[in-house]
Amino acid sequence: MTAPSAPLPDGFPELRPGPPWVTEEMVAAEPDLVEPLWRAGDEPARALAAAVDRALVAGEPVCVVGCGTSEHGAMAIAALLRDAVRWAPGAWLIASRQAFEAALDPWPGVCLAVSHEAGTRATIAALAAARARGAATGLVTATPAGPAAAHADHVLATPVVDRAWCHTVGYLSPLLAGALLASRVGGVAIDPARLAGHLARSSAQAAAQAGSVAEALCGCALLECSGSGVDAITAREVALKIEEGMRRPAVGRDLETVLHGHLVARDRSTGLVVCATEPRCADARRARAAQELEATTRVGASAAAIVDEPTAAAWAPAATPAGRIVVPSGDDLPALTGALTGSAMALQRLTLALVAAAGTNPDLIRREEAPYREAAELVEAHFPD
């Protein structure tokens, strides 16, 4: 592990000499997020649901924004909301946007921001611009007293602040908040005990399976992650966690995108992680993912997968020579909620296994080193007004 090049500022994660990393502790704590969020978040979720309903009835957009891990959380919230109202007029008006782009081109209706620590400048700017445009504003955050809250009409607080900067709680929390909000918009109740149990089972199963996958992939110079539907969100988050935690180049793409040109740059030095848990149009998505795996292995790249139980049963072991992590059934949860949250646990356990194989510290995302710390400060300190 690289020693810090200067004393670390206040507010940095704990710098440990070796594992267990703080990130591991955060992943282990995630099943316990559900009950307190359902208990304390019901009232703000109902208020946000009412704002979403009003916008859709008026034919106005519902925009969910964020940056980094929070952008992936925003994508998931938008997907959950669209699914909750997909047979109703206006479902197509629900979209996710990168916060900087939303700040430059604000929409009316509703702007719901995701910011774990409520301090990201681009996200604050998006909220302020949306409010100036006349939009109702909301915030999903673990820091309800943070700067972004001043620009939000409604704040849905998640219960735990991530103590590591390779955000895991910071990803799962908005997924859970989105599931709660979607249940209020769609009128379909979710049993928090069942959801917590699903997280615990998914985490335990992934922990048992991730080591062999990480061993097969850890020598790859580049890792590509892909998925279709909500699995494309998971794929983007897998890629981000690999880069933050393992410090290895990775890219997340839609499944079909990979098949149109990108394979030409793949060979024995690269690896692929296919995410295949999306329950909608599952047969067609599963068949296309199988073709992607076959094409990937044909050019010599290593191929692994995060899959649901039906996909695991449909694919022969040879389809994923680098192994697979199987997400258990969601047990009467809404299908997208089960897929997104179960695969979140799988991708995080895979990240931890890859971190162990690489011998890196994921907790500070390299900001114990001065160049990376100064680069991060530059990005936030000089955000354009």
Element (H, E) at 27: helix 22-29
What is the Cα–Cα distance from 247 to 38, expressed in whole angstroms? 35
170-195: pLDDT as tens digits: 999 999 999 999 999 999 999 999 99
CB distance 344 to 179 below 8 Å: no
Q: Which residues contact 311 (CB under 8 A, 6 or more apart)?
A: 276, 277, 282, 286, 289, 305
Residue 381: pLDDT band (50, 70, 90) is confident
**Residue-level pLDDT at 1:** 52
Within 10 A of 284 (CB to CB), how many other CB atoms are there? 10
Q: Would you call 219 helix, strand, or coil by DSSP?
A: coil
78-112: pLDDT as tens digits: 999 999 998 888 889 999 999 999 999 999 999 99
The correct CATH number of 201-358 out of 3.40.50.10490, 3.40.50.300, 3.40.50.800, 3.40.309.10 is 3.40.50.10490
What are the residue boundaries of the structural domains of the chain, listed by start?
A: 22-186, 201-358
Mean pLDDT, the chain, whole residue set? 96
**Residue-level pLDDT at 86:** 86
Domains 22-186 and 201-358 share a fold: yes
| Superfamily name and number for 22-186 | Glucose-6-phosphate isomerase like protein; domain 1 (3.40.50.10490)
23-67: pLDDT as tens digits: 999 999 999 999 999 999 999 999 999 999 999 999 999 999 999
> Structure pTM?
0.97
What is the Cα–Cα distance from 17 to 21, expressed in whole angstroms? 9
Residue 332: phi, psi to the nearest 5? 70, 15
Dihedral sign, CA of 182, 188, 191, 194? negative
Residue 127 has pLDDT above 80, yes or no: yes
Residue 331 has pLDDT above 80, yes or no: no
Higher pLDDT: 330 or 145? It is 145
Q: Would you call 313 helix, strand, or coil by DSSP?
A: helix
244-256: pLDDT as tens digits: 999 999 999 999 9
Using DSSP bridges, classify how beta strands 136-141 and 110-114 pair: parallel, antiparallel or unpaired: parallel
Is the backbone of residue 214 left (phi > 0), alpha (psi -120 to 50) or beta?
Answer: alpha
Average pLDDT, stretch 262-280? 96
Residue 367 has pLDDT above 70, yes or no: yes
**Residue-level pLDDT at 2:** 58
The tokens of 270 are what?
Answer: 């690269």
Residue 8: pLDDT band (50, 70, 90) is confident
**Residue-level pLDDT at 384:** 79
**By percentage, how much of the chain surpasses pLDDT 90?**
92
